[in-house]
Chain A
């Protein structure tokens, strides 16, 4: 290891194309994987686990889309349909989206990007995965035994009263998963505070790190509230005591307040990490520093903070007072400001950049488009009068899928392609991957754009029968979902192909800036760096784009 690394020289020239002593071949036993405390290995275990839950959630999405092909409920019973979309929501939100970028790319990259050997608490990191998979196992158990039909929101008094199935078991699973998420966030915050390499000041940090920091704040401050809230619902369901139950004078609206206190910020747990990835990728493929770096960094923190004060916009029509509604509406509009700061700054980064169109960058362009639509349609809801019309329609469904699928998953895909050569030291087939990005973009929009129109026309969510006029748009949506499925299949093929036949890439195939590219090998050694790097320059210090001819493979 020591021989291959020169701290200050540009590495690529004299570094091996494929680092032979790396974290991947440091032990082959099951034990060396499932009892590992190496953040990179844990990231890979997470990658496998969340992919499993993504496929599961996708399966339920497919059931839902199939049912909605026809106006009549002829594929599933109403009850079956309720269970299908509930399981879709629970699997996708709690077991895929929330852990996705933090637990996989965050785990892998946080130490590498700040020049540390590992996260601050490697054993707790491993424990997080066990809590996650334990929670997942409980949710799976409930699913196999018929699932639940409470929707992912578990609104009382239904969830604590008549709802059948393993509601309490599922909640227990979410509780475990929640604390796994808390420990991941806690680990990141401590690591970012205490383990940065010499010279790596706060405003030299990669923007992905800023995004992970903001996300972690939400994880440690929001998640415990939903943990106690769902626990109370589980206790109420299991022991029949009264907390939210109106039969005792309890207040279901209180449950909604506590639930959304976490579950609105949870959206930012999904989208902020994606935004971090966008900043990294857009800078690399424009060969420019991110425009207004410090504004983009601070806007992540602003989103995290403001995000805690807007939850009431989910409750305009469920019994919250008009006055509270007004306040929450005003606060909700505020979130648009830091989000817009990011979008404008990304666009400005492209300006006069030396732009190239590799797969990660295609996902970024996809992200910019759909995030714009998803973000702007989000502003329809705090407009109180309009919300009355759009509440609980497919307009809402379309909006949050634009953010959570269009935004978060495209960001995740961009990141996965971008750092894949770092993680495995091998190339993926670029052309095929680009086709995957395009298919994802087309499939995604075909699936969800018709849902805006459906919702505006009055199609309510959670219904499995509808009036025949809506059928055409539903068919479009289902067709789009099929294309989207192909869009997800293609990267899977690319990555599989890469693992089997991919050529070695060398440590920095994108000629990117950042410690993980410039100071570590591909795949990185277990200790990440042969010696702790010293940082002497700002983030994204690309040579002037216009003056450089960039050669990339």
Chain B
């Protein structure tokens, strides 16, 4: 009205695109703070029980497959790269390249989940299921570890990587949505906030894994045997 030209991307309640973009960014960062505390509760449990049942934690951790963990770490870091490239392409207005990078990110996230699936199903196969007649080979118990306390490690292992997995799945959904609106031409050099925001989210998911990997997989390196 009074301001003459208004962008078609500008929501009615904002004054200009700058304000809209800053609001979205602040909102996303606040959401990530919430997420940090959300995972923080789990990390607290982990820290406390690791302190109390150190032997059980290294026994349980030693039993995890470091190679698969490492592979997944590489996969997820690469997906962060493709996501960053998608953001860059969107800012440059390269629609085709944006779509390609988004699809690559989804594909890598898919690989991550498939690897996770195989990890979990092998564990289930060996009876490493907390709460359901939990099995753990006695020869793999180090120090003062007991089967019961190793079970706590695995409860946390499934909860932590499970919650992370849920975030990966949600990421696939929103990145899929980004791809869709990009195809429809709703991402432009003038307005590409959604890509940037989802990018932030995806890097966060990546960072959570960067913490999970050493806590869950590398801890077992304390065992030399």
Contact = CB atoms under 8 A, between A and B. Distances in A.
Contacts of A120: 13, 23, 27
A324 interface: no
Interface string A82-93: 000000000000
A194 B26 contact: yes
Given A118-B13, A220-B30, A228 B19 contact: no
B27 A117 contact: no
B24 to A, nearest CB: 8
Contacts of A247: 148
Contact of B152 (A117, A193, A248): A248
A225 B44 CA distance: 10
A333 interface: no
A248 to B, nearest CB: 5
A46 B27 CA distance: 22
A235 B166 CA distance: 15
Contact of A195 (B12, B19, B35, B45): B19
Contact of B39 (A221, A223, A228): A228
A121 interface: yes
B190 interface: no
B225 to A, nearest CB: 24
B131 to A, nearest CB: 4
A174 interface: no
Given A120-B27, A186-B34, A251-B48, A532 B149 contact: no
Interface string A235-255: 110011111000111110010
Given A225-B40, A241-B158, A220 B19 contact: no
A457 interface: no
A241 B131 contact: yes
Interface string A103-130: 0000000000000111111100000000
Contacts of B12: 117-118
B183 interface: no
B45 to A, nearest CB: 6
A242 B30 contact: no
Interface in B146-180: 146, 148-149, 151-152, 155-156, 158-159, 163
Interface string B21-51: 0110011001101110111111011001100
Given A228-B42, A235-B159, A248-B148, A186 B31 contact: yes
Contacts of A194: 19, 22-23, 26
Contacts of A326: none
Given A232-B41, A251-B48, A242 B26 contact: no
A250 B152 contact: yes
B40 A232 contact: no
Interface in A212-244: 220-225, 227-229, 232, 235-236, 239-243
Interface in A111-151: 116-122
Given A190-B27, A228-B38, A242-B151, A122 B13 contact: yes
A359 interface: no
A303 to B, nearest CB: 19
B23 A225 contact: no
Interface in B171-202: none
A222 B38 CA distance: 9
A531 interface: yes
B110 interface: no
B2 interface: yes
Given A118-B13, A224-B41, A225-B38, A242 B152 contact: yes
A258 interface: yes
B2 A531 contact: yes
Contacts of A224: 34-35, 37-38, 40-41
Interface residues of A, number: 43
Contact of A182 (B14, B26, B34, B156): B34
B130 interface: yes
Given A117-B12, A220-B33, A258 B41 contact: yes
B132 interface: yes
Contacts of A278: none
Nearest to A186: B30
B142 interface: no
A119 to B, nearest CB: 8
A473 interface: no
B30 A227 contact: no
A227 B11 CA distance: 32
A119 B131 CA distance: 46
B15 A239 contact: no
Nearest to B42: A228
A228 B42 CA distance: 7
Nearest to A250: B152
Contact of B155 (A118, A229, A241): A241
B159 A232 contact: yes
Contacts of B35: 224
A490 B173 CA distance: 50
A531 B27 CA distance: 26
Interface in B118-152: 130-132, 146, 148-149, 151-152
B53 interface: yes
27 contacts: A117-B13, A118-B13, A121-B23, A186-B27, A194-B23, A194-B26, A195-B13, A220-B33, A221-B33, A222-B37, A224-B38, A225-B37, A225-B41, A227-B38, A228-B42, A232-B159, A241-B130, A241-B155, A242-B130, A242-B155, A243-B45, A247-B148, A248-B155, A249-B53, A251-B52, A254-B44, A258-B41
Complex A-B, nearest 10 residue pairs according to Cβ-Cβ distance, in ascending order: A228-B41, A240-B131, A224-B38, A241-B130, A241-B131, A118-B13, A117-B13, A224-B37, A241-B155, A120-B23
